[in-house]
Amino acid sequence: MKTELVTKAYEIAKERYAAIGVDTEKVLKQMQDFHLSLHCWQADDVKGFEVQAGALSGGIQSTGDFPGAARNIDELRQDILKAKSLIPGNHRLNLHEIYGDFKGKVVDRDEVTVEHFQSWIDWAKDNNTMLDFNSSSFSHPKSGSLTLANPDEGIRQFWVEHTKRCRDIANAMGEAQGDPCIMNLWVHDGCKDVSVNHALYRNTLKKSLDEVFAKEQPMMKDCIEGKVFGIGLESFTVGSHDFYTAYAAQNDKILTIDTGHYHPTESAADKVSAVLPFLKELMLHVSRPVRWDSDHVTIMDDPTQELFFEIVRAGALDRVHYGLDFFDGSINRIGAYVIGSRSAQKCMLRALLEPRETISQLELAGEGYKVLAIIEEQKAMPWQAVYDEFCVRNNVPVGQEFIADIDQYVADVISKR
């Protein structure tokens, strides 16, 4: 699209938003400071680079076998940089522990050290990218149905040691980049069928978390993430939303809200204002559940839009961290990155463009029909022109122009794998 057309459309949009009290230049500045944490596992379907890697397990799965998945660390880095080049703004990278640079050596999960991520730290510095991190409890001979909640002391200690080492790595990443590394802890622990030991498992998980978090790590932030159920673990989840909400509030940890980790009739957006009075910060994992935690690519659907509206309406922009968490192997993986990231950005943009003070005052004055009228009219406002301007200012393709760019990348790079 010609830049002059984008600029013309933006100037009209700027005037229209100014008429309802919204400063689009202020919003564009806020968008520039809105950093997503891109998830490395979209590029290779959650395989990672362990020499001893087995099949994906632990209550998660990636579906599809579209050609071109990254096969090694160099290809994954190349794909991530390509995706970043098509997304306006500068964004972080979220690594799982299984994506270490193991250099062809067998390194078990309780043996991993900063050494195995030094090349990632160097790469991130060279590419102006901040790193976030995750422990990896799945797809391992000792993961089974229970890891940190396992009554078997040997297995429990294995995962406690793994998670402690991950915190060491995250802290080193934070020190190197001069900005705290956000480390997420999620374990799949649960039961396939009827269980009578719920209290035992939850007390064991609490004990493990207390041990893991005992060491102060000043340059990383701990997140804990609950879930409704996992594949093969449908009847009971040890680390439920209630469990982790209570633990986070009591122990000053960040709660991770994953949009796919709730019952289909629950609203992840509603949880934002419900927990923020008790927590300093939140972490988001944004995906798209289709009937279950299926991790479809994020789009501008109603649940995602409501999530970002809720954050902005709560005045919580500086208290929420934004990560993506989908892994669709059925479509072009670079395309998945770009679609999901730009969709999340558009949801945030629309939330920032809302005349919040006006709507809030009308609601408090009991003018319900005016509230509904303005919210509905906002859907037809020219927010897309503002997003196009955001793309132009960041020198990335406008609209669907990124499709041709990805096709060229497929021809030049992916097709040769």
Q: Which are the catalytic amino acids?
A: 186, 225, 227, 258, 261, 285, 293, 295, 325
With CA atoms as reference, report the closest residue to 49 among 110, 98, 95, 94: 98
Residue 408 belongs to what H/E stretch?
helix 402-412
Type of residue numbered 354 = E
Rg (C-alpha) for the chain, rounded Å, is 22
DSSP 41: G
Copy the structure tokens of residue 1: 């699209």
Whether 224 contacts 163, CB under 8 Å: no
The pairing of strands 190-191 and 236-237 is antiparallel
Contacts of 254 (CB under 8 A, 6+ apart): 182, 221, 222, 223, 224, 248, 279, 280, 281, 282, 283, 321
CA distance 151 to 115: 31
Q: What residue has token string 């649940």?
A: 303
Helical ranges in 19-87 per DSSP H: 24-32, 73-84
Q: Which helix (H) or strand (E) holds 95?
A: strand 92-96
CB count in 10 Å sphere of residue 4: 8
Task: Kindly state the tokens that stand for 104.
Answer: 């062809």
